[in-house]
């Protein structure tokens, strides 16, 4: 070593630390890289992404070559510092101690902390280049890596651990995927993000949650006078209208107003003409999931269904539009008043129609009203009171104070909700 100047040894030491830093950067960037993005890049023909995925498919060998190189270089750096200390100060114990402290500090800063921060911060940008460099190193050091991993696997076997038991393609649970969507505000527009979140909820929503309750269905009595029927059809906001005979629960068919138009223009508007244009009613069991119902509508070429309980009693009406609105949001068309979203005023109060669904009220006003019972605000209050509602009655449900403002035919038409106080 007398022929090698200290400056050259110092330069070699710096080189060892830098190369060791590369292995630290490689380890962190490979493990922190977004595998879904890598798959996308690989599908587009990116060779670096393909190599990275190949290396990540054999993580034990990839980590083996990284840690082998890292530890060998760090050990060589520590030995070289001892040589430099002896060259400068002789075999003084204090010099060797200071040299050990200095090389430890240098390894931490140059070879560990700094490269790992860079690798974690820019993993997706670096992983392709890193994979190109690691691949030939793994091929050259494969026998040594295999031999070392053999002992590592033996130790894992003694510890009753199965290497590779959880390996393979990472899979996101539904809740994890929901979190990814919620955190992607800078990538996905708000409306698109809302649609994706609504899609996750489809399996938990039934037709009972989105249907128009029986008391709110706009229907026609086939036994009513023709003038009353004509007037009702002229003011109807719906193309398809349920038709009943005598009582609302006795539905005899669905009337498509466009089909009736030709008869009306020909002067053949009569009860017989109405009956001839009726389509067979399509009944939907209560509790059917809206995703399954959407498929049923498609398979049966239907757009309107009547929700019935296990005894065949009519509960409500559900349409394709009701289900689509659960995914993409409310349409601007429809009956006046229904499209207006409730909101809190300056005094922390909101006027809400009693026929509004609890899910919509919770969503718009940020409340947590119970959803495991009645589906509308009117039903929830009546169930809570166990009595005929009266104007001016106040109550509190799920921490939300509310007051009945208007009733009609034993039903609650308008409710005033008060924003609950914020809790720590």
CATH code where residue 259 lies: 3.10.580.10
Q: Give the residue from 158, 175, 197 where a domain finishes.
A: 158
Eight-state DSSP code of residue 369:
-
The 10s digit of each residue's pLDDT in 53-62 is 988 888 888 8
Q: Which helix (H) or strand (E) holds 72?
A: helix 59-89
Query: Higher pLDDT residue, 186 or 128?
Result: 128
User: Residues 32, 107: one domain?
Assistant: yes
The 10s digit of each residue's pLDDT in 275-304 is 888 888 889 999 899 988 999 999 988 889
User: Residues 320, 369: one domain?
Assistant: no
CA nearest to 65, candidates 30, 37, 33: 30
Domain assignment of residue 341, yes or no: no
User: Residues 10, 153: one domain?
Assistant: yes
Domain assignment of residue 103, yes or no: yes
Q: What domain count does the chain have? A: 3
Q: Say yes or no to pLDDT of 25 above 70.
A: yes
Of the candidate ranges 67-71, 110-114, 211-215, the one whose mean pLDDT is the lowest: 211-215
User: Residues 123, 61: one domain?
Assistant: yes
**Confidence class for position 227, pLDDT limits 50, 70, 90:** confident
Of the candidate ranges 84-93, 199-208, 236-245, the one whose mean pLDDT is the lowest: 84-93
Q: What average pLDDT does the structure give for the chain?
A: 84
In sequence order, the 6+-apart residues with CB closer than 8 A to the CB of 169 are 35
Mean pLDDT across 398-417:
90
CA nearest to 418, candidates 358, 360, 367, 354: 367
CATH code where residue 413 lies: 3.30.465.10
CA nearest to 30, candidates 54, 58, 7, 52: 52
Domain assignment of residue 168, yes or no: no
The 10s digit of each residue's pLDDT in 388-407 is 888 999 999 999 999 999 99
Token representation of residue 388: 């005929």
Helix ranges (DSSP H) in 189-345: 190-200, 207-210, 226-234, 257-265, 271-276, 290-300, 320-328
Q: Say yes or no to pLDDT of 118 above 90.
A: yes
Query: Higher pLDDT residue, 213 or 402?
Result: 402
pLDDT of residue 262: 63
Domain assignment of residue 186, yes or no: no
Mean pLDDT across 71-95:
84
User: Distance (Å, rounded) from C-alpha 379 to C-alpha 361?
Assistant: 13
Q: How many beta carbons lie within 10 A of that of residue 112, not counting itself? A: 20
Q: Say yes or no to pLDDT of 376 above 50.
A: yes
Domain assignment of residue 136, yes or no: yes
Mean pLDDT across 36-42:
88
Query: Higher pLDDT residue, 121 or 96?
Result: 121
Q: How many beta carbons lie within 10 A of that of residue 219, not counting itself? A: 19
CA nearest to 200, candidates 174, 222, 218: 174
Q: Which helix (H) or strand (E) holds 244?
A: strand 240-244
**Confidence class for position 1, pLDDT limits 50, 70, 90:** very low
Q: Give the residue from 328, 361, 377 where a domain finishes.
A: 328
pLDDT of residue 350: 92
CA nearest to 19, candidates 53, 66, 64, 59: 66
User: Distance (Å, rounded) from C-alpha 111 to C-alpha 75?
Assistant: 12
Q: Give the residue from 280, 298, 328 where a domain finishes.
A: 328
Domain that holds residue 413: 349-418
Q: Say yes or no to pLDDT of 423 above 60.
A: no
**Confidence class for position 116, pLDDT limits 50, 70, 90:** very high
pLDDT of residue 424: 46
């Amino acid at each position: 070593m007398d022929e090698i100047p200290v400056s050259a040894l110092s330069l070699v030491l710096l080189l060892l630390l830098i190369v060791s830093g590369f292995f630290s950067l490689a380890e962190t960037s490979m493990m922190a890289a977004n595998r879904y993005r890598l798959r996308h890049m690989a599908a587009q023909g990116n060779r670096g992404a393909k190599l990275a995925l190949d290396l990540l498919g054999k993580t034990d060998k990839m980590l083996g070559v990284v840690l082998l190189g890292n530890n060998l270089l760090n050990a060589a750096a520590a030995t070289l510092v001892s040589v430099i200390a002896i060259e400068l100060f002789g075999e003084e114990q204090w010099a060797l101690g200071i040299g050990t402290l200095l090389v430890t500090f240098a390894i931490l800063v140059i070879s560990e902390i700094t490269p790992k921060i860079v690798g974690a911060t820019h993993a997706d940008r670096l992983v392709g280049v890193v994979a190109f460099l690691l691949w030939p190193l793994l091929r050259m050091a494969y026998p040594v890596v295999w031999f070392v991993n053999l002992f590592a696997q033996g130790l894992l076997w003694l510890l009753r651990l199965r290497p590779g038991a959880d390996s393979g393609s990472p899979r996101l649970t539904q809740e994890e995927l929901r979190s990814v969507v919620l955190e992607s505000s800078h990538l996905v527009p708000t409306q698109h993000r809302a649609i994706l979140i609504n899609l996750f909820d489809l399996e938990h929503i039934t037709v009972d949650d989105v249907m128009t309750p029986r008391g709110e269905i706009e229907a026609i009595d086939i036994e009513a006078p023709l003038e009353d029927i004509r007037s009702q059809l002229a003011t109807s906001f719906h193309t398809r209208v349920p038709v009943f005979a005598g009582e609302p629960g006795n539905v005899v068919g669905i009337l498509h107003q466009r089909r009736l138009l030709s008869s009306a223009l020909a002067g053949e508007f009569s009860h017989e003409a109405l009956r001839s244009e009726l389509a067979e009613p399509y009944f939907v069991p209560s509790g059917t999931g809206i995703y399954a119902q959407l498929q049923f509508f498609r398979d049966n070429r239907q757009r309107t269904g009547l929700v019935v309980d296990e005894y065949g009693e009519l509960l409500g009406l559900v349409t394709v539009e009701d289900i689509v609105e659960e995914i993409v949001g409310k349409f601007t068309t429809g009956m006046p008043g229904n499209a207006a979203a409730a909101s809190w005023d300056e005094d922390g109060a909101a006027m809400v129609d009693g026929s509004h669904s609890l899910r919509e009220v919770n969503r718009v006003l940020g409340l947590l009203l119970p959803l495991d019972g009645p589906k509308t605000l009117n039903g929830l209050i009546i169930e809570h009171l166990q009595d005929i509602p009266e104007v001016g009655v106040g109550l509190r449900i799920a921490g939300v104070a509310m007051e009945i403002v208007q009733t009609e035919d034993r039903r609650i038409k308008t409710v005033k909700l008060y924003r609950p106080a914020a809790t720590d």
